[in-house]
Structure 1
Amino acid sequence: MNEWIVTAKDARQRLDLYLIKKGLTLSRSRIQKLIQEGQITVHNQKVKPGYRVHPGDRILIHIPPPTPLEIKPEAIPLEILYEDSHLLVVNKPAGMVVHPAPGSYAGTLVHALLHHCRDLSGIGGKERPGLVHRLDKETSGLLVVAKTEKAHRALAAQFKSHTVTRRYLALVCGVPKARQGTIELAIGRDLKERKKFSPRTARPRPAVTQYEVVERLGEFSLLSVRPKTGR
């Protein structure tokens, strides 16, 4: 149970937006649902997401534990580029979610991996067995998956120390003047669109990305990009 007291400088903001601004790391829709369910209250009283906060308001936040998921193997085709007794490398298609999450409880890469391997490293947890990194739903690309605890620890250590090189091809709007360069910004979850990361955030973190123009396509560009910070 978390408790926040509203100060004068934060008065008259919508409750849901106030919580996002204060750094509650949930999507706006999730926050609104918790308010509607009475899990987030003001002076122990249920209010609406659009409630305007006042100085001295005592906001209580209770986030119920997630319902345990029972993940069953699914016979989903996989494009496996390499596999041995310790790990495998799979080409994830665009449109596939990597692991189960709210709104995606079936048809994920994890469901397919469990059908293929039957037993994966459990270090990633029940919802993310064998995973040491991931890709966004609409991003295609290679993922390395650990099949043993030893492989999981070794791979996780490499990703943590940034000894793994990750490169992406990105089609972007606009044409950079320089053929190559480095973009440095402080970004975090967008204040209004929580599924996006942008400089408009309550908790900025440094992000460094190197890029090189592969091809100029009118008003668009195909870039080879290499994130240096993981963001």
Structure 2
Amino acid sequence: EIGPTFPAPTPARPVAEHIPLNILYEDDDLIVLDKQAGLVTHPAPGNETGTLVNALLGHCGEGFEGIGGEKRPGIVHRLDKDTSGLMVVAKTAMVHNALSEAFAARDIDRAYLALAWGLLPAEGEFDGNIGRDKRDRKRMAVVGSGGKVALTRFKLIEPYQAAVSLIECRLATGRTHQIRVHLSNAGHPLLGDPVYLRRIPAAARGLSQDAKEGALDFPRQALHATRLGFIHPRTKKQLSFETAPPQDFQALKKRLIG
């Protein structure tokens, strides 16, 4: 008779791994990087290795451990696995605390580019408290009671065939999946969103065949953290960064233009 089997114990601390990172700025206090889509920010059940934290430990060495907790050293804010774009990571406890306070106070300049289904107005905002979806714990939702206050402002950059909108989003709050939830709740889910896009949108009928195929086959949410600006906690200098979306996002835009 074979006894019960138990999974191998996972390390209490993340292990250092050599994973390529696109670092835009680095000094003794912090790192600014352009995270690739597909990279999980910090270890969690099911993703104990291959994360941004593992990569940062491999890049920075042992001195990086212990900043901000063993499981997520240096992480001040996170991007969803399949969201690309700009992140700042602390290398010292002082900077970690200062940046965490700046994010909490919304003293950070952040903007995202997103491709959403449907034609949005020139500008506007979405509000509505966000909490766990009672029917699906892996999803967030706009909830009628409870949840956390959330506000997303947007402006239209370019419409494509009156069926898809390229928008810039700015967060007045920072809730889990905020942009994805607010847009989906408003009837404008992000292209490719595996969680909040549940059916083929009616707007897809307005696209040419090639554009429709590209939009419906896009394998991740079309969301990129394009701008990040903040005051350096130690030097007090303003740092500002901007990056273009990755190649898959750019290629999709070209197909949408038709």
Give the TM-score category using the shorter length: 0.5 to 0.7
Q: d(CA) in 1 for partners of 2:173 and 2:112?
A: 14
1:36 is matched with: none
Tell me: CA distance 1:201–1:193, structure 2 relative to 1, closer, same or farther (3 Å).
farther
1:148 aligns with 2:92: yes
Question: Shift of the alpha carbon at 1:220?
Answer: 1.1
Superposed CA deviations along residues 121-177 of structure 1, whole A, max 9, x for unmatched, are: 62411010011111000100111111111111211111111101221111111111x
Which of the residues 68, 72, 79 maps onto 2:15?
72
Is the 8 Å Cα contact of residues 191 and 201 (structure 1) preserved in structure 2? no
Q: Does 1:91 align with 2:44?
A: no
Q: Within 1, Cα distance between the matches of 2:64 and 2:145?
A: 37
Alignment partners' CA distance in 2, 1:144 and 1:209: 21
Contact kept in structure 1, 2:57 and 2:65, CA below 8 Å: no
Tell me how far apart the structure 1 counterparts of residues 45 and 170 of structure 2 sit (CA, whole Å): 29
- 1:163 equivalent in alignment to 2:98: no
Q: Secondary structure at the match of 2:83?
A: coil
Q: Distance in 2 between matches of 1:159 and 1:200?
A: 24
Aligned to 1:16: none
Deviating more after overlay: 118-127 vs 82-91? 118-127
Contact preservation (8 Å) 1:94, 1:140: yes
Identify the residue that residue 187 of structure 1 maps to in structure 2.
130
User: Which residue is equivalent to 2:24?
Assistant: 81
TM-score by length of 2: 0.60
Whether contact under 8 Å (2:126, 2:153) holds in the other structure is: yes
Structure 2 equivalent of residue 19 of structure 1: none
CA distance in 2, matches of 1:199, 1:131: 26
8 Å CA contact retained: 2:129, 2:143: no
What aligned pairs does 1:1-231 form with structure 2 within 5 A after superposition?
69-118=12-61, 119-120=63-64, 122-176=66-120, 178-200=121-143, 203-218=146-161, 219-231=163-175
Between 1:213-222 and 1:199-208, the stretch displaced more is: 199-208
Contact 1:99 1:109 in 2 (8 A): yes
| 8 Å contact kept, 2:119–2:165 | yes
Residues of 2 paired with 1:201 and 1:183: CA distance?
14
Q: How far is 1:193 from its partner?
A: 2.2
Structure 1 CA distance for aligned equivalents of residues 138 and 109 of structure 2: 25
Distance apart, 1:69 and its partner CA = 2.6
Listed as ranges, the gaps of 5+ residues in structure 2 are 1-8, 176-258
Deviations 1:79-138 (A, max 9, x none): 100001111101111111000001101100000000000122624110100111110001
Q: 2:68, 2:93 within 8 Å by CA — same for their partners in 1? A: no
Q: When the two structures are aligned, how many residues end up with a matched partner?
A: 165
Cα offsets for 1:68-87 (capped at 9, x unmatched): 63321111001100001111
- Tell me, in whole angstroms, the C-alpha distance in 2 between the residues paired with 1:124 and 1:80: 20
SS in 2 for 1:195: strand
Aligned residue identity for 2:42? H
Question: Percentage identity across aligned positions?
Answer: 48
Pair 121,75 (structure 1): closer, same or farther in 2 beyond 3 Å? closer
Q: Which residue of 1 aligns with 2:187?
A: none
Distance 1:159 1:205, change over 3 A: same
Paired AA for residue 193 in structure 1: D
